[in-house]
Structure 1
Amino acid sequence: LLTNLIKDTASEEQKQYLNVLEFSATNLLSVVNDILDYNKIELDKIELEALPVNLPGLLQKISNGLAMKAAEKGLEWKLEIDEILEERTIITDPTRLTQIIYNLGGNAIKFTNDGAVNIKVKFIEQNDKKINIEFSISDTGIGIDMDRQEAIFERFTQASSDTTRKYGGTGLGLAIVKRLLKLFGSTIQLESIPEQGSVFKFAIEFTLYNGRLEHVSGFTPVKTSLNGMKLLIAEDNSINVLLLEKLLAKWDVQTTIAANGREAVSKILNDDFDCVLMDIHMPEMDGFEATRAIRVLSDPLKAQIHIIAVTASVSHNVYDRIMAAGMHDFLPKPFQADHLYDKLQQVHKSRTLDTAIPVKAAG
């Protein structure tokens, strides 16, 4: 969040340094998210979203981050996309597809000391409703012994006993890729020769989107205004509040602050909001208790307000507790501005549609 705010007044050189800082922080966050995601997958808590996506745009965005990482190691980086895909818009979960490609691309860079890493995206076939696309991530890295090529897709497992010592990581990345691809109805294929490199391949059948788009996921990083949205921030950390207020002001979101869960319930009783960002750990009344109190309010509109939990907890049952309390969604701390925006935009769109539906007159 902080780098996102500083960029507004930074010079071009400062922006480059901030981009590197942000990229490094994102990598650290990805380790934490790997652990959280694997746990959610094991508990069958992940459901794929279905959003219209411009695939080349999404891939270019992923590639920009990975290219920087490859350049740091002096590696050649190449992204190849069949031209025919430029004219296609697909329905998919851009967050999970990004996670798969980012994990595979990041691994390829990590285990390659010289040479190149390539991502190829190939059109296979399509009909009126579906399109089949193949993804391959190749490298000229250390390769993987034949007898380890199945084991590396199991949790906390790497190619050799000294891999973690030399290269780091959790040993969860490929296990997550395998399980996410299963949700997409796909499987991963691996071809590898030790000391020569590896090629990871998978194919996914996507539904084609033929509607008219105002915003396509992955196509543009521009954040449109969320003007008219009223958001309650339930957060006891003043620094977090300051950062959120500054960020949300950029999106024209009107904010109100509650320092604890008891204040949050009181403010909802006395005002109308579109959404609540609910910190879990607060004094006097925590986020769980506050949510339960909101859900039993006599006003049905207030009782059903959209609540997004915000938590730094990595306990195995935090997701279950969030859902059991009656919250709609959650953001793990520290979160990225893009993730917050996407969740708020969904709420804003649904509220806009609700108010736009004409009420039929009686009689």
Structure 2
Amino acid sequence: MDNKDKVDDEEQNSLLINNLINFFLFCIVFIEGMISLRNENNFYAFPLLTLSLVFAFHFVYLTRNSKARGMQNSLFFFSSITFLYFVVFGSSTGIDIIWSALFPPFIISLMGMKRGSFLSMLFLTIIAAVVLLVNEFGIIAYSKQYTLVEKVVFLAFYLIFFITTYAIHYTYTEIILRKERRVLDSQNFNKTQEELISKLSHQIRTPLSNITGIIDILEKTNLSDDQRDYINTIHASSNNLVNVVNNMVAASTTNFNQIPTEEVSFNLYSTINNTIKLFQDDQEKKKFSLSLSADIPNNLIGNSIKIKQVFLNLLNSLLKYNKSELKTITIEVTRKELLPDKITLAFRIISNTVVPIPKSELGENAIHSSDVIHLNRSKYINLLDLGITQKIIEMDGNSIEIIPDSVNTTIEFSATFKENKKSQSIESIKPPTKQSENYFKPVVDIADANILLVEDNFSNQQIIILYIKDEVKKIEVAFNGKEALDKFGKVKYDLILMDVQMPIMDGFKATEKIRQIEKSTGTHTPIIAVTANAFPEDKEKCLASGMDDYISKPFQPEDLIRKIKKHLS
């Protein structure tokens, strides 16, 4: 459980206990006061009815001011006075001794087990002293005289209530601690497993990249038919192994509860648009369209990471299963309903992805029936690998609908945010004027380019050099980010190929420092991340650190050369 959520739960539990104690004490004191008033016993009626008003005020004030401080101590003070009043003066009903014996349950529930137990014993000592003064010396006027039997009964009830309450709270605390310990152990285990699988994935991808790279080079040499057949078999097996690694990592990330729950102010349009950019490359023809209704505020308060995760998964699935030459995705966001301080938005994603519908299961005449589609939603979710996405959406009380037909697939879901009072709606936002870059990027022919390769693994260095040596003549190598910075300060490079995980200084830190240096010189050197971290969020992290592009291992030599040419031109 998140620490913030835990604190909120504890505050809510404390508030509930305080209100229950307020209400119960109000009922006891008010009933005793009314009975005394009916019996025309003003000595009891006036102070008891006054105390009932005090408890009523506490109840109303705490209900309207849940964050009020000092109310707990105030409630303890007036509760102690009430119970002490019953001990000293008694009551009209004659059951005052029972009310006084209820002090331990009230105080332990109010102040906690440790402080409540101490105060309960202190209160018992005070009561013993008061009763002694009353019975032996009679120095308190109108005080009640207790018989020995009443004293024994009171002491027995007091101790029974104290021991019972302490035992219940102790047991409850132990149960909660054990539950939290199990949850923590489970989270630590899951985290360890995910880190292990992520590490294994990275370690497997690196040699796989080298294997596929050598295979690509061998395929371009003169081979006999048998040799080419063997190479093709190795290539296919390598590709299958890459798929196995992808599936293994995907399975390890099903613990969606690890998504941070912190709510921040964010721009919804920018969040979705930046997610779309992660899927835009030159390898496939894609067309994206994003529109937000004009009544949606520019900035919302909510979990932007969760929204980004949902769109990453949805877009990845729709593009993965789209067999069209031109892949089109339209995203529409509209306001669904407006609640006090909350906004519910409806998201609609339309793609020309055709979901394969099993006719044998749906029936010949009902393939596109909306009722059948709704009933078979789980089948579409499985076909598109959206099980995790469904859970992320539903954990906030929302739902996801998938509506396929013979041409398109439509996905609809909703999400609730808090309204940012300082935000404007997008209809009042003017498009930003495009500013000219403060640096000049001349066109460089790849054959004349001076490229810095930052890679700590010697084998990986050799493979990448083999990939590009026919196109690039000038290649320098740095074994870590620190060495890359030293070289960058002495030599002008046209492009940098940057590994991410390296000793001494990693690729992220090196990129940030290079960008800081370039701010003072007004220059910009393209940096392409070459890494075994192969998921959309990894690409986003690379771009956020200041890198210009990203390519994951294993990759085709042509893909790397194409990216180099793109950024040199």
Name the TM-score, length of structure 2 as normaliser: 0.33
Name the TM-score, length of structure 1 as normaliser: 0.49
Q: Max radius of gyration: which structure?
A: 2
More strand by share: 1
More helix by share: 2
Q: Which has the higher contact order (CA 8 A, sep 6+)?
A: 1
